[in-house]
Chains A and B, each alone.
Chain A
Amino acid sequence: MTTAVAEERETYLNAGHGVKSWLLTKDHKRIGLLYLFTITFFFFIGGVFATLIRLELLSPHGNLVSSETYNKLFTMHGVVMVFFFLIPSIPATLGNFFLPLMIGARDLAFPRINLLSWYLLVIGGLFAIFAMVAGGVDTGWTFYTPYSTSYSNTWVIATALGIFVAGFSSILTGLNFIVTVHRMRCPGMTWFRMPLFVWAHYATALIQVLGTPVLAVTLVLVLCERMFHIGIFDPALGGDPVLFQHLFWFYSHPAVYIMILPAMGVISELVSTFSRKAIFGYGFVAFSSVAIAVLGFLVWGHHLFVSGQSLFAGMVFSFLSYFVAIPSAIKVFNWTATLYKGSISYATPMLYAFGFIGLFTIGGLTGLFVACLGIDVHVTDTYFVVAHFHYIMVGGAIMGYLGGLHYWWPKITGRMYPEGWAKLSALVIFLGFNLTFFPQFMLGYLGMPRRYHVYPDEFQVLHVLSTAGASVLAVGYLMPLIYFMWSLKYGAIAGRNPWKATGLEWQTDSPPPVHNFDEIPIVTREAYDYSGTVGQEVQVG
C-alpha cells in the first residue's frame, strides 16, 4: 500500500517498505492495520459458516448438510466470530491506532508487547484454522462439559489451544492500554479531558485483564480433563460440570462487554462530531463504561438459570443483571440528549451511529426479557436468545466498528471513502440486519430451539425471511470491502480534519507521521469543545 499524498511527506505508511517492515513493526498504527487485515479475514471465514447455516435453514428437513456437519458449522461460526473477530475487532484495530493519538502519545507504552499480541492472535488463529481444516469441532462455542471433555470426537484440543493463545493476545492488549492511559497522556490531557473512546477502551481493558485469565485456566482444566480424564468436571468421579459453566461465563459474559464497550466509545465520538456538540453528561457516560465493566463481572449466573443453579443464586443474578440496564440506558439517553438542538449532519458514520442506538436499544431491552427468571425458562436455548445477542454483537458491536472505520478511514489512509456508496451500504446493512434477526425473536418465542437444523414446517416462513435478510446483509458487508479498497487509489484527499472534529487525532496529518505528532501537543480544553474554532483546541508548542 503506497500513499500518493500530494507532497512527499513521511508518513507511517511510507516510512518503511517491504514485508519485513510490516511484520516487525513496532508502530501502533501499522500493528492496528495488521489486526485489521487479520480480523477481516476471520470475519469472512465466520461469514462463510453463517451463510451455510442460513442456507441449511431454508428448508425444515435438514437436506443440505448432515446433523454432524451442522453442529460443526454453528460451532465454528461462533468460535471464529467471537474469539477471532469480535473480541479483537475495535480495540485491536481502531483502539490500537487511535488510543495513543487521542491522548497525544507517540505510541503505546509497550510497542513490542503490542506486536507480540498480534502474533499471538495469528498463532491462535492458525490453531483454529488447523482444527477447521482437519475436520472441525462440534461442541458449540461454549465447550460445555462433559460433552467437550468426554464425548465429542472432534478437534476440541486444537480449538481450545487456539482460543487459549488468542486470549493472551487480548490480555496483553488490555495491559498495554491500561498502562498507556495511566502513563502516556500528553501535558494537559487530564482524565476528564480524555475522549470517551479512551474511557471506553480503559473499561474494556479492565475486563480483558481481569476476565481473560479465568478463561485461560478454565481451558487448561478442560484440556487436562480431556487428555487425561482426571475428573475435574467429570460427575463419575464427583466433579461438577456446572462448575465449568460458572468459570466459562465468568469470562464469557464480560466478554460481551469487551465487544460492546469499545463500540459505545466509537458512538460517543460520532454523535458528538456530527452534532457539533459536546456529549451531554460527559462524566456519566465515562463512568457508565466503568460501571458496565464492573457490573459485567457480577451477572454470569444468568447463563445458568436452567443449569441446576440454586433458585436463590438465580434470583440474585437476575437482580444484578437488571442493574446493567442502568449504565447502558445512561449512554443511550445521553447520546439522544446530545442530539437535541445539535447541528446534525447525516454523514455515513452518523448513519451507523443511529443504527447502533436503535439496534442496541432493542438488544438491550430483550436482554431484560432473558434476565427475568420466568421468561428465561421459556426462551432459554431458543432463537430468542440468538436474536438477542446478535442484536448486541452484530447490531451493536459491528455497527460501531463499521461506523468507526468510516469515521477514521480518512485519518488512517489519507483518503475519503465514496460517500454515496457508503450511505447505501449503511442502509443495506441496517435493513439486512433487521430482516435477518427480527424474525428470529419471533421464532424463538414460538419455540424454535437454537442449534437444530430440522424444525417443524410452520417455522419455515420466518426462517426463509431470516435467510433472505442474511443475503442482503452479506451484500452490505461486501460493499465496504470493495469501496474501501477503491478509495485507496481513487478517494479524494482527506486533509487533516475532514469532519472538523475536536480530537487530537485530527490535529495531525492524514496519514499521521511515524511518531504521530511533529510536536507533542498541549491540551488546554475539555473534550468535544465545539464552542470555538477547531484550531484553538490545541496549542502546539
Chain B
Amino acid sequence: MVSEPHVESLALREQFNSAEQQKDASSLGMWVFLITEVMFFGGAFAAYTVYRSIYPGVFGAASRTLNTTIGALNTAVLLCSSFTMVLAVRAGQLGRRKQIMAFLVLTLILGMVFLGVKGYEWNEKYVEHHIPGPSFQMEGPGLQDHAQLFFSLYFAMTGLHAMHMLVGAGLLSWLLYQTWRGKFSAAYYTPIDMVGLYWHFVDIIWIFLFPLLYLIDRHGH
C-alpha cells in the first residue's frame, strides 16, 4: 500500500486501501443497517396491519382519540430537524466547523422538542385511561377489549421510535464533541453523513407512524 501524506487526517483505517474505499464501505454499511431497521419496524407494522384488518372499526375509533393537531405539529418539528441535519452535513462537506456545530445543536433541540411533546401526549393517554392494562377504560362496542390492541401497538411503535430518537440524540452529542475537537474537515466528515442517514430514517419511520396511528379515520368528521 502506498501511504499518502494526507492519510492521517483522513483517519484511514488499516484494512482499507484508500479513503474512497473506506467511505464507500461506511456508506454501504449504514444502508445495510437501515435495511435491518426497516425489517425490525416491519414486524410491528405487520402486526398493525393484521389487527387493523380484523378490527377496522375499533382501530378507527381508538385512533380518533389521538390529538391530531399536536401530532401534526410534532411531525413538522421532526421534518425541520431533518432539514437542519441536512444543513449540518452540507456544512461538513464545506468543512465549516462552526456551522456544523450550530446545525447539530439545532437538530438536537428539535429532536428534544419532539420527544417532549411525545411525552406530553403519552401523559394525556395516561390521564384518559388509555394505557392498556387493568386500568384501561374506553366506552363503545368492543372497545374495552379490542381498543387495547390499538394502544398496545401505539405505545410499542411510538416507544420504539422514541428509543431510536434517543439513540440519535446520543449520536448527535457525540458528533458535537468530535466537531468541537476538530475531527472533521471537508476531506473527512463521514460520521456526520452516516448519522444524517440514521436521523432521516428515524424521521421516515414517523412519517409512516403518523398517518397510520392518527389519521386513519378522519375522513368525513
Among A171-179, A477-485, A527-535, the stretch in contact with B: A171-179
Closest CB-CB distance, A449 to chain B, in whole Å? Answer: 30
Among B44-52, B91-99, B101-109, the stretch in contact with A: B44-52
Determine whether A106 belongs to the interface, using a CB cutoff of 8 Å to chain B: yes
Determine whether B127 belongs to the interface, using a CB cutoff of 8 Å to chain A: no
Q: Which residues of B lie under 8 Å from residue A492 when comparing CB positions?
A: none
Determine whether B21 belongs to the interface, using a CB cutoff of 8 Å to chain A: yes
Q: Offer 23 A-B interface pairs, CB within 8 angstroms, sorted by A.
A: A108-B15, A109-B15, A113-B29, A171-B36, A175-B29, A175-B33, A179-B29, A183-B24, A183-B25, A211-B39, A216-B43, A217-B42, A217-B160, A221-B43, A224-B152, A228-B132, A231-B145, A231-B148, A238-B148, A240-B50, A240-B54, A243-B47, A520-B17
Q: Mark A218-231, 1 if CB is under 8 A from B, else 0.
A: 10110010001111
Determine whether A110 belongs to the interface, using a CB cutoff of 8 Å to chain B: yes
Known: A179-B29, A183-B24, A183-B25. A217 touches B149 (CB 8 A): no
Closest CB-CB distance, B116 to chain A, in whole Å? Answer: 24
Task: Flag if A221 contacts B149 (CB, 8 Å).
Answer: no
Q: How far is the CA of A179 from the CA of B25 in the complex (A)?
A: 6
Q: Write the residues of chain B forming the contact surface with A, with a CB cutoff of 8 angstroms.
A: 1, 13-15, 17, 21, 24-25, 28-29, 32-33, 35-37, 39-44, 46-47, 50-51, 54-55, 132-133, 142, 145-146, 148-149, 151-153, 155-156, 160
Q: Which residues of B lie under 8 Å from residue A246 when comparing CB positions?
A: 46
Known: A229-B133, A232-B156. A106 touches B15 (CB 8 A): yes
Known: A175-B32, A212-B36, A218-B43. A230 touches B50 (CB 8 A): no
Q: Mark A85-115, 1 if CB is under 8 A from B, else 0.
A: 0000000000000000000011111110100
By DSSP majority rule, is chain B's interface helix, strand, loop, or mixed? helix
Q: How far is the CA of A218 from the CA of B148 in the complex (A)?
A: 18
Q: Mark A4-48, 1 if CB is under 8 A from B, else 0.
A: 000000000000000000000000000000000000000000000
Closest CB-CB distance, A186 to chain B, in whole Å? Answer: 9
Q: How far is the CA of A236 from the CA of B132 in the complex (A)?
A: 13
Q: Mark A232-245, 1 if CB is under 8 A from B, else 0.
A: 10001111100100
Q: Which residues of A lie under 8 Å from residue B160 when comparing CB positions?
A: 217, 220
Task: Flag if B32 contacts A183 (CB, 8 Å).
Answer: no
Q: How far is the CA of A218 from the CA of B47 in the complex (A)?
A: 10
Q: Which residues of A lie under 8 Å from residue B37 when comparing CB positions?
A: 213
Task: Flag if A230 contacts B133 (CB, 8 Å).
Answer: yes
Task: Flag if A231 contacts B39 (CB, 8 Å).
Answer: no
Which chain A residue lies CB-closest to B46?
A247
Residue with the greatest number of chain B CB neighbours at <10 A, chosen from A221, A238, A520: A238
